[in-house]
Structure 1
Amino acid sequence: MDGPSGSATHPLVEFARRLSFADVSPSARSATRLAILDSIGCMLGGSRTGLARQAAEFVLAMGGNAQATVSGRGLRTSMPLAAFLNSVHANALDYDDAFERDGKGMGHPGASVIPAALAAAEHAGATGQELLTAIVAGYETANRIIEAIQPTPARHARVWGVAVHQAFGAAIAAARLLRLGELAFHDAFGLAGTMSAVPAARKWNWTNRPLSSPKDVVASQAESGVKAACLAASGWHGSRDMLDGETGFWIMAGSDRCDPTRFTDRLGTRWTVEELSFKPYPACRWVHAALEAAEHLMREGALRAADIREIEVGSFEDVVENFAERRPKTMVDAEFSLPWTMAVTIAGLPKGPQWYSDATLNDPAIQAIADNVLMVVDREAQARHFSEERKSMSVVRLVTCDGRRLERRVAVALGGVASPWPKGGIEAKFHSLADPVIGEEAAGELRRGILGLDEGEPIGPLYALIGGPSTERPR
């Protein structure tokens, strides 16, 4: 099928459709295996949260044919519902990956692409190489779209959506794994755009908490991507020029500009999956620089929480005004609270679900530290966030009980290309999340299977490991 002359949509979709395992560079394959490991770890870690239980109640009530596995719950349901619930799990702790350019965040692609791919791969009986290649194609599509439609700073201050573009990546991955023909493949892409979410991040109840439960809205995008592929396989038609022209997806997504050259710039030689950031803290990326600075000062000074008299954090206005909740009532509220995440960091709590357990949220000692966090607008952080850079910079100043004054500024937080994880760090993060849910032995087997996806071994047994012990049965 030839695309319209000058189309921005057609070459990107065709690249994703035609991509072969052999086309993917060894370094991109390696990066993708780590991305899958990180996402599945986040899925397992998030599977036992209250947010996940609420979403599971919905999925169980909907029923659905047993086509695909739900992580950590010993449950199988339809492909779209499995993609939805696994995406909720992946994003529940706000520990999932991000596409980031020098500190400028552009979505959480793994939480939509990987759950969609897993659901379709299991139902289709795909090989490990097919799964890995589909995930690469999904990342490339989603990441290039969001990079091309970045708004001006003035527009971003008014309209912002975290995952509005991620249904495209989910649809591409699912369409490949369900082996759609050429025309249906393009239809699936267009349908994904039609079923995408609106850019609603400025309306999460920032000034009237509790925050909106879907937060980044990654789960509906995973579900929509799978639905788009399934409907296209059934004969539904979708837009063939979704990205094109003055009425293209960019304006639907709330942007005020689009650079269509970015859709295909160095396509097949530059792999955006190698540019992901993996979160070292289970919290919104905007607070990571502050948490990293505080953790560094605590470690370098051999300090305990009891040694700290004053805590001051300088950041940009959105954080100071909207992330100031000191008594979060929900896990989501706590993930987007600088005083809370700073308190559990200062207290040295293990990173993961414990940060947001009922016991922790009601711990007077943690609450006392949160009350002691002073938040101020930092001039440099403000200037650099509300610019083309859109960095999430912070500076932390501690005053100890013996009078020492310590300060550290972090421009770009650990986890991305500019400040990568240490060797073995993502594997350790995976085990910290997976071991409590499926057990250390099963988690080790799952890790080895994921890191060996392209070695030709059957991947069917991995789904049972991902599912873990049964906690529910379909109604």
Structure 2
Amino acid sequence: MPAEPITSRLAQRLTALAYDDLPVTVIDKAKALMADTLLVAAAGQASPLGTQLRAAVTASIGRSRLWFVEGGVCMGPVEAAFVNTLHAGALGYDSVNYKVHADLICLPAAWAMAEHTGASSRELLTAFVAAIETVSRLSRSAIGKAAGWADTAIYGGIGAAVAAGLLLKLPPAQMSHALGLAMAQAAGTQQASLESVASRRLQPAFAARNGVFAAQLAAAGATAPSQALEGRFGLRALYQSGDDKRLFQGLWQDWQLLDTALKRYAICACSQAAVAALEQLQALHHLREDQVLEIVGYVSPFMFRYVGAEFNLQGDLGMLAQHNLRYHLASTFLRGPITFEHLQPQALHDPDIIALLHKVHLRVDPHNDNDFAPATVSLTLLDGQTLRYTQQDVPGSSHAPLSTVELAIKAEQCSTAAGIGAGALLAKVSAFERLASLEAFWY
């Protein structure tokens, strides 16, 4: 007998999951990820990028809310998932699990479909958990060198289909088709990150839109290949090979979503460890620019690929501010912890920053084959002294979680940018599973 297709096996496991199967630790983590995603989306919808790009979305009739947009605007679930994902990623402040940003896609997809179907808060939580766990496992079970596809865009659409499919209550066969239809639309490359252009922020939104639509198509009777993942021309063969035994190993027991990191700074994940290392050096030594001869960041080849470009005041300055480690180090040294204000285009023209950038250099550590950490920063002083600090773990990860104070600072920064009250939002998320309806969240 031939082996059961992977998408069918996954669909069976997904549709069998219930809220009561979720451990308390998983529910608590899911609510923390929900709070983080809502807060960064609130700030993102008020950003120039969020405001500018959502204007391109054609209004539709529906019950799915555009989060925090003035007037309580609602659209269909496909459009709402697109817009809310765009907002959640607009400022580069969203969470990251290994190589994927699952939450900014899976929460908007789950929320939009939950409002569309009238689902309960517990059903939304279950769909959200199932979706982000699926995205994480698909990414983590990949093996070999990637050809340059973006994990978030490729696997995120599958997660959106999971979330939407569960809330549409698709039976296993239709859920399998939803997964296959999402894989048929999988697209998105790392070139947008290398060039620091706005399509980097749009690729997750495309994935959210496509995944929700895939679930709707499956519900309407559309079919997809049974071996969409593992087939001769399946996703694994064409995008990146994978050991999909690991996809099921410990499923619903060994929860990979618990390893999701909440970003400390609104910049690329590849810069976080080096920036934290420089913060530590400054906290210990309180140095001035005129005392420093050179600032050097030692990073992995993976980090350098994404944030190691020379600083050049051309192109999309907002994206440059989020993806240039040289600028991040210069800004951190002179101004302290990076804030939204430091990522505005005008902040990049600061003459003091431009002067210091001549002293900032990056070195690739060929022995560091990690993605986001460790990273080392060294300061060579004019008196010949050299100071070094290595940040071993990504700030905000399970190994270096954000403190209560750091979480409060992030919440305040996002809520201030959005003009909302962080306290009320966090209180509602804390009691999310007890909400009488999703409508009650907004009032």
Whether TM-score is above 0.5 comes out as: yes
Residues 71-120 of structure 1: CA deviation (Å, up to 9, x unaligned): 332232221121111111111221111112xxxxx211111111111111
Q: Using the alignment, how far apart are the partners of 1:241 and 1:320 within structure 2?
A: 36
Work out which of the residue numbers 227, 245, 248 in structure 1 matches 2:213.
227
Q: Is the 8 A contact 1:327 1:367 kept in 2?
A: no
1:290 counterpart letter in structure 2: A
Mark the CA change 1:165 to 1:362 in structure 2 (over 3 Å): closer, same or farther.
Answer: same
TM-score for both structures, normalised by structure 2:
0.91
Work out which of the residue numbers 388, 401, 404 in structure 2 matches 1:420.
401
Tell whether 2:132 aligns with 1:132.
Answer: no
Mark the CA change 1:298 to 1:231 in structure 2 (over 3 Å): closer, same or farther.
Answer: same
Partner of 1:295: 279
TM-score for both structures, normalised by structure 1:
0.85
Work out which of the residue numbers 414, 420, 423 in structure 2 matches 1:439.
420
1:262 counterpart letter in structure 2: R
Residues 288-347 of structure 1: CA deviation (Å, up to 9, x unaligned): 121011011111223455654421112234554662232444211221101111122223
Q: Give the Å deviation of 1:129.
A: 0.9
Q: Using the alignment, how far apart are the partners of 2:405 and 2:124 within structure 1?
A: 23
Partner of 2:437: 458
Partner of 2:141: 148
Residues 192-242 of structure 1: CA deviation (Å, up to 9, x unaligned): 1111114x21x3384xx5535335821111111111112222222223332
Residue range with higher mean Cα deviation, 26-35 or 7-16: 7-16
Q: Is the 8 A contact 1:38 1:426 kept in 2?
A: no
Q: Using the alignment, how far apart are the partners of 1:228 and 1:318 within structure 2?
A: 32
- What secondary structure, in the 3-state scheme, does the structure 2 residue paired with 1:165 have? helix
- What secondary structure, in the 3-state scheme, does the structure 2 residue paired with 1:214 have? helix
Q: Using the alignment, how far apart are the partners of 2:351 and 2:11 within structure 1?
A: 53
1:112 counterpart letter in structure 2: I
Overall identity of the aligned pairs, in %: 25
Specify every segment of 5 or more residues in structure 2 that has no aligned partner in the other structure, as ranges. Answer: none
Residue range with higher mean Cα deviation, 444-453 or 235-244: 235-244
Tell whether 2:294 aligns with 1:331.
Answer: no
- What secondary structure, in the 3-state scheme, does the structure 2 residue paired with 1:277 have? coil
1:217 counterpart letter in structure 2: Q
Q: Using the alignment, how far apart are the partners of 1:317 and 1:390 within structure 2?
A: 8
Q: Give the Å deviation of 1:370.
A: 2.9
Q: How does 1:32-181 map to 2 (within 5 A)?
A: 32-59=30-57, 62-74=58-70, 75-100=73-98, 106-150=99-143, 152=144, 155-156=145-146, 158-163=147-152, 164-181=154-171
Partner of 1:353: 340
Q: How does 1:393-432 map to 2 (within 5 A)?
A: 393-400=374-381, 404-423=385-404, 425-432=406-413
Q: Give the Å deviation of 1:355.
A: 2.4
Q: Is the 8 A contact 1:162 1:217 kept in 2?
A: no
Q: Using the alignment, how far apart are the partners of 1:260 and 1:321 within structure 2?
A: 28
Work out which of the residue numbers 253, 260, 272 in structure 1 matches 2:244.
260
Q: Is the 8 A contact 2:270 2:303 kept in 1?
A: yes
Mark the CA change 1:127 to 1:424 in structure 2 (over 3 Å): closer, same or farther.
Answer: farther
Number of equivalent positions: 437
Mark the CA change 1:327 to 1:268 in structure 2 (over 3 Å): closer, same or farther.
Answer: same
Q: Using the alignment, how far apart are the partners of 2:33 and 2:83 within structure 1?
A: 19
Mark the CA change 1:36 to 1:237 in structure 2 (over 3 Å): closer, same or farther.
Answer: same
- What secondary structure, in the 3-state scheme, does the structure 2 residue paired with 1:196 have? coil
Residue range with higher mean Cα deviation, 12-21 or 347-356: 347-356
Specify every segment of 5 or more residues in structure 1 that has no aligned partner in the other structure, as ranges. Answer: 101-105, 465-475
Mark the CA change 1:205 to 1:449 in structure 2 (over 3 Å): closer, same or farther.
Answer: closer
Work out which of the residue numbers 163, 173, 181 in structure 2 matches 1:183.
173
* Root-mean-square deviation (Å): 2.4
Q: Using the alignment, how far apart are the partners of 1:120 and 1:306 within structure 2?
A: 56
Residue range with higher mean Cα deviation, 66-75 or 278-287: 66-75
Mark the CA change 1:245 to 1:415 in structure 2 (over 3 Å): closer, same or farther.
Answer: same
Q: Is the 8 A contact 2:100 2:135 kept in 1?
A: no
Partner of 2:192: 204
Q: Using the alignment, how far apart are the partners of 1:317 and 1:274 within structure 2?
A: 27
Q: Give the Å deviation of 1:428.
A: 4.0
Work out which of the residue numbers 175, 184, 189 in structure 2 matches 1:194.
184
Mark the CA change 1:374 to 1:264 in structure 2 (over 3 Å): closer, same or farther.
Answer: same
Tell whether 2:295 aligns with 1:311.
Answer: yes
- What secondary structure, in the 3-state scheme, does the structure 1 residue paired with 2:309 have? coil
1:294 counterpart letter in structure 2: L
Mark the CA change 1:307 to 1:459 in structure 2 (over 3 Å): closer, same or farther.
Answer: farther
Q: Is the 8 A contact 1:290 1:410 kept in 2?
A: yes
1:63 counterpart letter in structure 2: A
- What secondary structure, in the 3-state scheme, does the structure 2 residue paired with 1:418 have? coil
Residue range with higher mean Cα deviation, 67-76 or 122-131: 67-76
Residues 16-66 of structure 1: CA deviation (Å, up to 9, x unaligned): 11211110011011110001111111111222222212211211xx22114
Q: Using the alignment, how far apart are the partners of 1:78 and 1:160 within structure 2?
A: 29
Q: Using the alignment, how far apart are the partners of 1:340 and 1:350 within structure 2?
A: 13
Q: Give the Å deviation of 1:402.
A: 6.0
Mark the CA change 1:396 to 1:30 in structure 2 (over 3 Å): closer, same or farther.
Answer: same
- What secondary structure, in the 3-state scheme, does the structure 1 residue paired with 2:389 have? strand
- Higher relative CO (Cα under 8 Å, sequence separation at least 6) belongs to 1
